[in-house]
Structure 1
C-alpha cells in the first residue's frame, strides 16, 4: 500500500498545480492519471513539449522532486474505505492511502446526436485533436471543425499544424454573442493575445458564425456534411474526410459523486460543490479545475494551487490566490453566456438517430420516457461501457434528464482487480 500526504487524481493543469503547491510545502504527493503522460487534455502528450511555459515549469519542478510520485496509466476504481482508493494499472491493482485527496478529473466533450453522427470519420473536436497529437495521420485530409466554443479554434490550429486542410470552422453561437464576448476580452488582455495568435494561424480558414451541422452523409464513411446558416434558407454542403464536432465540455464529476461529494447545477451542468478553499462537502476531499465548472486553463491553475495549499495545511497561503480565481471565474461566466447552446440543436435527431452508441438506442426509443431511470430500465440507455458519459450529456440537452446515480467501479475494471 502506498501512502501519501496528498493524493491528486488527474495530471492536467489543475492537478499539476495542486501537486506542486502541496509539494512546495513539504507534503509527500502522489499524482494519478490514466494517461501515459502528464498534462491532461490541454497539455496532452508531455508537459515538457508544450508551448505553454507553465506546463514545462510545473512538470520540471515536480518530476525533479523526490516528494512527488507520478502514477501514469492508473485508473481509480472506487474507495475501499475513507482514505483509501483502489486503483488499476495495466498489469495490476493497488490500494493508495491518503490523508487528503484533491480531485482534478477535468472534463470531457459534449457530443450531440444528429443524422449521420455515427459514420466513420465523424469524431469529437477534442477527440480528433487528441488523435492527431498521438500521431494519427491527417496530412492532406479535409476536415470540418464544428460545434461551439474557443476549443474549435485550438483544434483547428492543431489539425492544420498536422497537415490537415481545414474546410471551415462552424460555430453555432450567434454573431452578437460573439461580438459581446470579444469585447469582454478587454478585461483579460492575455486572452486577446491568444485570440490574435490563433487568428493568425488560421488565416484563410472560413469561420461560419451562427451556423451548425444538420447532418453527416456518406456511403459507409463520411463524405460530406450539411450546414445550416442562420438566416439563409438554403442548406450548404461541405465535402470533407473528417468532421470534428463538439459542443463544449462537461465536468467529470463521477468520482466525486462516488465519494459522496455534493454537486450543484451550474450553466445546465452538474459541478462539484466546493467552498472558498476548494473543499468539497466531504472532509479531506478537495476539487479543482473543470470538475467545479468549465473555465479554462487559467482558472484551473488558480483552483489547483488553492486546493494544493489547503490540502497541505496552508490555508493562509491558499487564500492569497482567491483573487486570481475570482478574476478567471468572471471570464468563465462570459464564456458560458457567449456559447450557450441554441435550441435548434435539440431538434436535429430523427427517430432513427442513435443517441446511446454503446447500446444502439435511438431517439425514437427514448423521447417517450419521462426520465433517465425509466429509459435506462427499458432501453439499456447508459448501461454500456461508457456508463452514460457520452449519451448522458446528450440526453440532458435533448430531454432535460440527468443521471441520478454513479455505478461502481468508476472506470472499467478487470475482474481480478475487484476480487483480489
Structure 2
C-alpha cells in the first residue's frame, strides 16, 4: 500500500519547518519527515542537557496546530522505488510515500579534515561536541580545545562552557585580517552582531589551526600552529570542524543538478528536477535565518502561491549577503590539505591511510582499490575529506541510502512483509 501526499518535506530543521508552515494554509496534505524524533534539526536538537530557544518551541507549537501537516519523526529515506515515490522506514515499519511535490531540506554536516591523531578517543567534531553535550555527555571540569573554522567553533565552545568545561583555546584557521573584516560588517545584521558578542571568548585565536592530536590510547594534548608558531596544549577533549558540507546525497540520487557541490535552485527554490524543490543548507551554507526564508519560499512555491514566495525575495537577498560575507571570511586555507602524514587514516571506517589514497586519481578508483567510503558512514566523512584533499567528486549514492530492515527492502518488489 502506498501513502499519497501533496507535499513531502525531507528534513525538519529551520528550512523544513518553515516550508511546512508556508504551505499549510493551502490545505494540501503535507508530510514532514526527519530522522530525529522531534522537529528542530541539528540547531534545535533535543536532549537531556538541551535548552531549546523560545523560537524553536513556538515553531513546534505552530506545526502541531496545522491539521493538514503530519510529522514523521525518527524516519529515514531508504530508496526511490519509482518517480515521485520514496521508500521510508521508522522504528516500527517501512512504507512507500507517493508525492506530487517534494521539498529537500536535508541540511548540512560538518567537514572533518584528517590530521595525525584525529581518530583518538576524545576527538570529535565541533558540532559533534555540541550534540553530545545536549545528549547528556558530562564535560564539567574538562580542558577543551576547539579548532577549525567558522562561527560553529564559538557556539560549540559556548555550549561546553555552559556545562562546566574549561576552554583553553579556540583555534580559528581564518586570518586575523579576515576575521576582523567579517566582524566589521556584522552590524549590517544586528541580530548576528549581538549573537557574536554573546558567544565571544577570550580563548579565541585567529590564524591558528590544528597540526596533530597527541596521545596513545586517548587524547592527551593538541599541537597547534598559532600565528606561525607551534604550540602544544595538554587537554582532555578536542572538538575540530572545518565548516559545513551540504547534504546532497538524496538530491543527487533523485537527479537534481549540483552547483558548487550544493543542490542548484532557481529563484523559486526549484531544483533542476520538475516538482522538486530544495531549501536550507543543502543548497549552500548561510545560517538558520537564510535557511528559514528559503524554506518559506519553497513552501509557498510548492503550494502554488508564487506571489507570497516573491514577497520574501528581498529578505532572502539580505541573508544571502550575510552568507557571502561569512563564506568569504572563513574560506579554508589551502595549507589545511597538507595536514595528513602518510599513515594518517582518512577513511576511519575501513582503516584506509592517506598514502593508500594518494596513489589514485579519482574517488571511484580509490574506492575500488582500498574500500574507502564503503564503511558505516558510506563516504559521508571521507568523501568530503577527499574532495578537499584531492579535488575528487564522490559518485551519487545508490540505494539503500540508510541501513534498513529486510522487510522494508522487500517493499521495493511490491512484497508486503509477512
Is the TM-score greater than 0.5? Answer: yes
- Matching residue of 2:414: none
Once the two structures are superposed, the pairs formed by residues 307-386 of structure 1 within 5 Å of their partners are 307-386=298-377
Aligned to 1:76: 77
Aligned in 2, Cα 1:50/1:5: closer, same or farther, shift over 3 Å? farther
Does the CA contact (< 8 Å) of 2:347 and 2:382 recur in 1?
yes
Moved more, 183-192 or 361-370: 183-192
Counterparts of 2:286 and 2:51, CA distance in 1 = 20
Q: Which residue of 2 aligns with 1:87?
A: 88
Partner of 1:37: 38
Q: How many pairs does the alignment contain?
A: 408
Question: 1:92: Cα distance to partner?
Answer: 1.6
Q: Does 1:60 align with 2:45?
A: no
Q: Of residues 402, 407, 416 in structure 2, which corresponds to 1:411?
A: 402
Match of 1:241 in 2: 236
| Matching residue of 1:230 | 227
- CA displacement 1:234-277 (0-9 Å, x = unmatched): x2111111100000000000000111111111xxxx10011100
Query: Which residue does the alignment assign to 2:287?
Result: 296
SS of the aligned residue for 2:80 comes to strand
Counterpart for residue 112 of structure 1: 113
SS in 2 for 1:299: helix
* Residues 163-312 of structure 1 aligned to structure 2 (within 5 Å): 163-199=164-200, 202=201, 205-232=202-229, 235-265=230-260, 270-312=261-303
Structure 1: runs of 5 or more not aligned: none
Q: Tell me, yes or no, if the aligned pair for 2:214 and 2:221 is still in contact at 8 Å.
A: yes
RMSD: 1.3
Corresponding residue SS for 2:87: strand
Question: d(CA) in 2 for partners of 1:322 and 1:152?
Answer: 30
Give the aligned partner of residue 139 of structure 2. Answer: 138
Q: Confirm or deny: 8 A CA contact 1:50 1:56 kept in the other structure.
A: no
Q: Contact 1:78–1:258 (CA<8 Å) still a contact in 2?
A: no
CA shift in 2, pair 1:192/1:312, >3 Å = same
Q: Equivalents in 2 of 1:150, 1:246: separation in Å? A: 10
Aligned residue for 1:35, secondary structure, equals coil
Aligned to 1:112, the other structure's residue is in SS state coil
- Cα shift readout 1:30-68 (whole Å, capped 9, x = no counterpart): 11000112100011118xx75544322221110122211
Q: Do 2:46 and 2:52's aligned partners in 1 also have CA atoms closer than 8 Å?
A: no
- In the TM superposition, residue 373 of structure 1 has moved relative to its aligned partner by 1.1
1:62-87 CA distances to partner (integer Å, 9 max, x unpaired)? 01222111111100012211221100
The one-character-per-residue Cα deviations of 1:314-360 (angstroms, maximum 9, x if unpaired) are: 11111111111111111111111111111221111011000011111
Report the CA distance between 1:102 and its aligned residue. 0.6
Deviates more, 1:89-98 or 1:325-334: 89-98
